[in-house]
Amino acid sequence: MLASIARAVRPVTFHRSTLVDRARLAARPVTHRASVRRMAAAASSNPVAVFDTSEGTFEAELFMDRMPITASNFVDLANTGFYDGLHFHRVIDNFMLQFGCPNSKDAKSPRSGTGGPKGGTSYDCNGESIQRDGGGNIPDELIDQTSNEPGTLSMANTGQPNSGGSQFFINTVHNDFLDWFGPGPSKHPVFGKITSGMDIVNKIGVCKTDGNDCPVTPVKMNKITIK
């Protein structure tokens, strides 16, 4: 199943992850706002993710204080090495870069954009355990109204509620039509933003791609480190 900026959203794959295809994602707000506030309050400071890629390094602040469930899911996957060795599988100039599918370890796999974390696994969110469902998806966290501005990290999904897992995308322009709180059907919550190295992100964003929006010259994630 395509996460499409979606299992970006899973980016939907995705295939064409749906990224939204450029705009089909639908989800519904979580109903645990009190729980989210409690977990967010437990976050003393926001972590920073360091992305070491074959094209250079960039960093992003993760909004643990505003999006604890989503940010903690990312931190868990990064700390366990889930993202290491994967490739950006969907890049569209003047739009976004999509990443995070385990099938993209093979840069040319036709299944890139369809995968996510192992189903039934769990992770810590500021002292509380969050369990992924049987498909490896996490609860939608439609709480914070940060728009899909340039440099923001946003969850990909299939367009169905609670279908985000490991895939996400980095906006290279202001894609406000993807905001979960906007009038459109797309529902992609932002959980972080680039703080340094946006030139590297933009460099990847204009790379030559094939008919499936996959970089002709693979762009590899060597490692993501949380600090």
98 an active-site residue?
A: yes
Give alpha helix (H) positions in 65-207: 68-79, 198-205
Catalytic residue among 58, 168, 178, 191: 178
178 an active-site residue?
A: yes
Please, are residues 2 and 158 in contact by the beta-carbon 8 Å criterion?
yes
Largest CA distance in the chain: 46
131 an active-site residue?
A: no
Task: Supply 102's token pair.
Answer: 């385990």
Catalytic residue among 73, 157, 167, 171: 157
Catalytic residue among 98, 103, 160, 171: 98
Rounded-to-integer distance, Cα 96 and Cα 201, Å = 9
15 an active-site residue?
A: no
Catalytic residue among 82, 95, 99, 191: 95
Catalytic residue among 24, 66, 89, 90: 90
SS3 152: strand
H or E element that contains 221: strand 221-226
List the beta bridge partners of residue 194: 60
Task: Supply 68's token pair.
Answer: 């604890």
Task: Supply 82's token pair.
Answer: 């889930």
Residue with structure tokens 């903690």? 72
Please, are residues 176 and 168 in contact by the beta-carbon 8 Å criterion?
no
169 an active-site residue?
A: yes
Catalytic residue among 7, 10, 24, 188: 188
Catalytic residue among 74, 88, 99, 169: 169
Residues that are catalytic: 90, 95, 98, 157, 169, 178, 188
